[in-house]
Chain A
Amino acid sequence: MRPGLIRACWLFLAAALLFPVGSARAEAGDVTLEAQLIWGTNDTKPDPRLKPADPKLAAKLKHSPFKWDHYFEMHHETLKLKLNEEKTVTMSRNCVISVTNLKGEQVKFQLFGKGKLANTVTQALPKGQLLVTGGDAENSTAWFVVLQQAD
């Protein structure tokens, strides 16, 4: 038998044996999430100090039923969570969120407005999925808290 083929067989076997270990390690549970406070407006000349939202995120929001054309990132938090760990972060003066990393890419998201629990959402949040909590703001604008897995 050719030596190259033998080497390839051994490499294949090693990869087959190591792959489940890698998968198990990924499933073991740590997750990095990004939470963003976004402001949506149709104002053609918004404050130049505002930081535009990530273009991919803005595109997703534009393609949704939302009526706003421009999206700006007001606050950004990165949450590194171990399995079953819960973290609470302040997104704005009146907005606090609490996120728990549950088994199987499930997250529990809670939003508090002025210290009062407004909503609790539990769902799977694999990469590419968004969990958006929003509401109307002054002058026909809107706010959003977007939670997603970090790239």
Chain B
Amino acid sequence: MSDEQQLKLQAFLDGELPEGDAREVAAWLARDADAAGLLGELKNTRNALKNFEPALKLPESREFYWSKIKREIERTAPVATPARSVSLFTLLRRILVPVGAVAALAIAGFITVHSFSGGQHPIAVNSLLADAGAFTYRDQAQGMTVVWLSYPAENKFAEKSSADTLPAK
């Protein structure tokens, strides 16, 4: 027997079926012994429960009893607290604290990157030398670009005894 048939029997027993369905179930019970047996069981169970069901008598009227329950529910329900007005100082503090933290992180990152790179960015040097024996090199540690020429010594460019390279007395 399917669940639906069992439920139909229960509804028949409880008198919940429409008249047409009830007639069909009665006819079905007349020809099906299993269905009649199950109906008997259901009747017995209902009778048993009915006998043991305690009769609860309310000390007051039904409406008053439920109104008490309702009041108790409303009393214990959490009350939504109204939003407190926040001062400008608090708002500023709320904004400045995360902004300050981000700024501190940015500064720390900048210092770290700067210290790892020696505080100096690579400097591009564009050098054009007319002297074939000359060369250019970059000393990053000293922050110095050096262009070394070969010819001036040949024409006494910076002769130490030359009057134009000595300060006047």
| A interface list, Cβ under 8 A from B | 1-2, 5, 9, 37, 39, 41, 47, 49-51, 60, 63-65, 74-75, 92-95, 111, 113-114, 116-124, 128-139, 141-143
Contact = CB atoms under 8 A, between A and B. Distances in A.
A146 to B, nearest CB: 9
24 contacts: A1-B89, A2-B89, A39-B158, A49-B167, A60-B143, A60-B144, A74-B166, A74-B167, A93-B164, A94-B152, A111-B147, A114-B157, A118-B130, A118-B131, A118-B149, A118-B151, A119-B147, A121-B125, A129-B145, A131-B147, A132-B145, A137-B152, A143-B152, A143-B158
A9 B145 CA distance: 46
Interface stretch (B13-21, B29-37, B56-64, B134-142): B134-142
A50 B162 CA distance: 12
B129 interface: yes
B147 A133 contact: yes
A120 B127 CA distance: 6
Contacts of B88: 1
Interchain residue pairs A-B with the least CB separation, the first 6: A143-B158, A74-B165, A93-B164, A135-B149, A120-B128, A122-B126
Contact of B123 (A41, A95, A118, A129): A129
B169 interface: yes
Contacts of A130: 142-145
B149 A92 contact: no
A114 B153 CA distance: 12
Contacts of B158: 37, 39, 74, 92, 95, 135, 137, 141-143
